[in-house]
């Protein structure tokens, strides 16, 4: 898997996947960037949430359950000293649909404990917690 990341000037970077898909990264204006796209650390949180969401959708489909909607809110804390890794991450799942709460909770647990590679990597430095709000 060979990805390329190119510096575009200032603090902007463009990442390209092997098959040509593109992602852009920047830093906040206070750090010398334009602040118009996610920072690399924000992208890590986005990737964690997306990874968990893919798992939850897949697991619920295998249980033959369907949702109306799924959103995840991520809150995180970072260490004060460099390299300023994430130390706490909380994922709050907002699920809409006529679903048994225990089944949705189990899907979230399976993602966190078994399937999400990003969660597995981040859990070495961060306490990752989950919360379910079922509407």
In the 3-class helix/strand/coil scheme, how is 91-130 assigned residue by residue?
Answer: EEEEEECCCCHHHHHHHHHHHHHHHCHHHHHHCCCCEEEE
pLDDT at 30: 87
CA pair distance 57, 67, nearest whole angstrom:
8
pLDDT at 94: 98
Q: 40-134 has which fold?
A: GMP Synthetase; Chain A, domain 3 (3.30.300)
Q: Which of 6, 81, 5, 77 is CA-nearest to residue 45? A: 77
- The H or E element containing residue 10 is none
Ramachandran area for residue 56 (φ above 0: left; ψ -120 to 50: alpha; else beta)? alpha
Query: Integer distance in angstroms from the first to the last C-alpha of the chain?
Result: 40
Q: What is the pLDDT of residues 43-86, one digit of tens each?
A: 999 999 999 999 999 999 999 999 999 999 999 999 999 999 99
Domain boundaries in the chain? 1-37, 40-134
Reported pTM? 0.93
């Amino acid at each position: 898997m060979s990805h390329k990341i190119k510096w575009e000037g200032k603090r902007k970077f463009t990442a390209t996947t092997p098959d040509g898909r593109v992602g852009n990264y920047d830093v906040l204006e206070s750090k010398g960037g334009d602040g118009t796209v996610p920072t690399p650390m924000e992208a890590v949180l986005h990737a964690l949430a997306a990874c968990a969401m893919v798992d939850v959708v897949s697991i619920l489909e295998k249980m033959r359950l369907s949702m109306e909607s799924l959103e995840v809110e991520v809150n995180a804390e970072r260490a004060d000293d460099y390299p300023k890794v994430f130390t706490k991450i909380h994922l709050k799942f907002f699920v809409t649909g006529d679903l048994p709460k225990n089944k949705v909770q189990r899907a979230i647990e399976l993602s966190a404990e078994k399937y999400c590679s990003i969660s597995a990597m981040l859990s070495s430095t961060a306490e990752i917690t989950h919360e379910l709000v079922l509407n």
